[in-house]
Amino acid sequence: MEMILERLIALNTRQTKEQTRAFVKECPLKDYDALTQSPRLKQMAERINSTDDDEKQRKLKSWLPFRCPHYTQFRDDYRDREHIVAESFTWQTCIDIDDPELVEKANEMSEKLDIEIGGRWQGLMLHKDYSIRRKLHIDIRLPLGMTVPEAQREYCKALGVECDTSCFTPERFIYISPADFEIYRADGWYAQLSDEEVAARRKAYTDRGLSIDGRTEDGSYYDPGDDGDAPTPAPVAPAVTPDAPAEKVETKFPQEFKGVPYTSVICEYWRRTGGEPSEGERNKRLHQLAANLRAICDNNEEWMLEVMPRFGLSVVEMKSIIHSACKEPTKGSRLIDQIVNALDMGISSDEIEDAEAVQAETGVKVNVKALPIGLKESLAGVPVSMHMPVLCGVLPIAAAYADQVQIQYCDGNLQHLGLMSIIRGEQASNKSVVKNAVDVWKRQFDEEDALARKREEEWKERKKGRKANEKAPEDPHVLIRMVPVTVSCSTLLKRFKNAQGHTLYSFGEELDTLRKTNGAGSWSSKYDIYRLSFDKGEWGQDYNSDAAESGVVKVAYNWTMLGTNGAMRKCFKSDNIENGLSSRILVAEMPDSSFAKMPKFGRRSAEDEAKIQEAVTRLRSFSGLVDTPRLRRAIEEWVEAKRVEAAKDIDHVKDTYRKRAAVIGFRCGVIFHLLSGCVRESKACLDFALMMAEYCLMEQIKTFGEALLSQYVDVSEECQRYGVNHSVFDQLAPTFTIDDLRALKRGYCSETSMRMIISRWMRDGWISKTDRHHWSKRQVGSQPKT
């Protein structure tokens, strides 16, 4: 079992006189949280703010606890430069805004920088809080290769404020504020980075002649000065790797390609090609690297010299190798393309071919790197071809945890996060990969339900064992949220009545079991319950007997089902297609395993599972209206584009399914947004929502399309028509009659439907009437939006 990397922080709690300002101790981050919630700290804050005497304030402030932003460990717990443990460098720094007039400006600007798509500081804000005197602290992750002063200067320039050079000291500390002063905290704050990332970051420093934590010979961080030309301390000689490129400090060319650091690309290249070169093969292997790398360096020899490792070679030798490689005909590099795409998506480059195959088949590319906490860890160890089934499997239970949230949809109506998904695939298609992920997500439900079921069983035993003249014990009305898919309508009604406004959830390993139990008797109306649960509709039943449950309830019920394609066909016959249940289902398809090699699964670490539980806790903490205006606009534009596509093709299936596919995509986007912790919906959130809407629509059409069409026309004729993927509108002549349209539709549409189609085209500005029997087409590209 992999060890959980505990988040560590250097603290001085200032609880005893022996804890002078020189004392600091490495502690788990939970000690910091306990400290911020202590009544003592709150009282100290109140005392400091209750006096205007500067001297008294300084004296009180000197007894505040503090943390160190740059290191988690100092030898002998003594905080000074000589006792720093360089290996405990946090790769983050804290910007201090002391000017009261600039606090709110910096606060707002930091939010913009954090969500600026493609910006240098996107996603690098780790923590933000007010100081006790309402100044501002902003912790950021250091960009790769930047020292603390470089990052401080650049970030303050982006904020539009003066930087505080006292913040540049390695041993610096920050006074701690009470918990309610905290504004924002990212998952990565004080997190220990992976060995691979630490190695890449240290190498970026040592390649510049600095120590592994970006310091120079005198122990201070390298600082180029305000304009980059101030006198700088002499850099130290590299002590870790032999391939530091002499005195190079400044970088002339970009250090990233499409947001992926060149150091990461090169590390992955060595991994794919047998490791770093030994001494006897240096020149040959570096020539091969240069030949592959030049495609993403614009064939620029200076650029390549700047980003390539040297392994002890001189600048002259490196120039000769690079020049030789660049003389060869440029043909690009498939391997480098795969590595860059894989690093951009957050997957192993060994899996990129599978990812490309999935994208070619489904049009979907899951960017694992961009996923928020919980969703990202759900895909740990999961083959790329199964990413979408797993995401579709866990989203309904994630939505069930966020059941106190209300959202406003594009049409202005308020909704809840109702989701139902079916993961379909042939026998032995590894559908259990979805179950393994859901099992981790449902742990909190299971633990709470176990206690509730125990109370209910005890009540039943007392009721059964009472004497004839004794009063029956009072029903405890326990809240049980995980119900089996085979639950009867009567029991389900009881669970709804005791739900206390919460959403129930079911997971079913066999869709066929659901179909059989829903087929007769008291189970027969459960299909109605599923339909109503999508929009929290009302459902109920009345019986004269006390033995059966009676009442009317709001239905909030999410579920995930696994099943074969055969069970899917049996479950969704014509009535369940036409009555709207099919359009409410998020369908995912397992990859075709016919004659395929056995897939390789990884293991989800204990840390991954802990992060999923953290995601669950985060979802449960939200309540009330969550406003997502950017997400609404994105989904509204998507559903309108699909309306135009369907109208051009007179495609009733797409027109039917696009509407609820948009709702499902929107709700998935809200879950992403809640988990991300962002103030506004990020670009990654919008991309995820649109991807889910597109995938949902495609799978609904693929799974249910033919059955829905068969209700309009003869199946064989319609399947042939449906297979032609051409726009009916585009096939019409520039001037046409209703007979021309009738010929293209081959009797598919009634006379009324065709006139309605023509009326809609005219309303949308696609056509104009020339005489009683003829219409003329306009340029569709200039059509007005409705």
Give the pLDDT confidence of 333-349 residue by residue, as tens digits. Answer: 788 888 888 787 777 76
Average pLDDT over residues 299-311: 87
- Whether the per-residue pLDDT at 543 is higher than 90: the answer is no
Give all strands of the β-sheet with 767-769 in edge-to-edge order. 735-736, 775-777, 767-769
Intra-chain end-to-end CA distance of the chain, in Å: 57
pLDDT score of 151 = 95
- Whether the per-residue pLDDT at 227 is higher than 60: the answer is no
Average pLDDT over residues 630-646: 93
Tens of pLDDT, residue by residue over 461-513, are: 888 877 777 777 888 889 999 999 888 888 899 999 999 999 999 999 988 87
Pairwise pLDDT comparison (520 vs 94), residue with the higher score? 94
Tens of pLDDT, residue by residue over 279-294, are: 667 888 888 898 889 8
Tens of pLDDT, residue by residue over 723-741, are: 333 467 878 888 888 888 8
Q: Which range has the top average pLDDT, 142-156, 159-173, 287-301, 693-707? A: 142-156
Q: Show the 3-state SS of 440-459.
A: HHCHHHHHHHHHHHHHHHHH
- Whether the per-residue pLDDT at 748 is higher than 60: the answer is no
Average pLDDT over residues 68-89: 91
Pairwise pLDDT comparison (519 vs 485), residue with the higher score? 485
Q: What are phi and psi of 194, to 5 degrees?
A: -65, 155
Res. 275 pLDDT band, cuts 50 70 90? confident
pLDDT score of 443 = 94
- H or E, element range at 335: helix 334-345
- Whether the per-residue pLDDT at 245 is higher than 70: the answer is no
For 298, left (φ over 0), alpha (ψ -120 to 50), or beta? left
Q: What one-character-per-residue DSSP string does 148-212 give?
A: HHHHHHHHHHHHTS---GGGG-TT--EE---GGGEEEE-TTTTPPPPHHHHHHHHHHHHTTT--T
Res. 233 pLDDT band, cuts 50 70 90? very low
Cα separation of 225 and 256, whole Å? Answer: 24
Pairwise pLDDT comparison (457 vs 744), residue with the higher score? 457
Nearest Cα residue to 323 out of 279, 296, 291, 295: 291
pLDDT score of 416 = 95
Angle between helix 334-345 and 282-293 (nearest 10): 70
pLDDT score of 547 = 66
Res. 378 pLDDT band, cuts 50 70 90? very high
Tens of pLDDT, residue by residue over 8-36, are: 999 998 876 566 778 899 999 999 999 99
Angle between helix 652-676 and 606-620 (nearest 10): 100
Choice among 36-50, 419-433, 641-655 with the minimum mean pLDDT: 641-655
Nearest Cα residue to 60 out of 47, 74, 76, 71: 47
| Pairing of β 624-626 and β 405-408 | parallel
Tens of pLDDT, residue by residue over 165-194, are: 888 999 999 999 999 999 999 888 999 988
**Residues 441/606, Cβ–Cβ less than 8 Å:** no
Q: Which range has the top average pLDDT, 209-213, 577-581, 737-741, 752-756? A: 209-213
pLDDT score of 765 = 81
pLDDT score of 343 = 80
pLDDT score of 518 = 64
pLDDT score of 558 = 96
Tens of pLDDT, residue by residue over 97-113, are: 988 889 999 999 999 99
pLDDT score of 779 = 61
pLDDT score of 340 = 83
pLDDT > 70 in the chain, percent: 87
Cα separation of 435 and 443, whole Å? Answer: 12
Give me the chain's average pLDDT, please: 84
Q: Is 75 exposed, middle or buried (0-12, 13-18, 19+ CB in 10 A)?
A: exposed
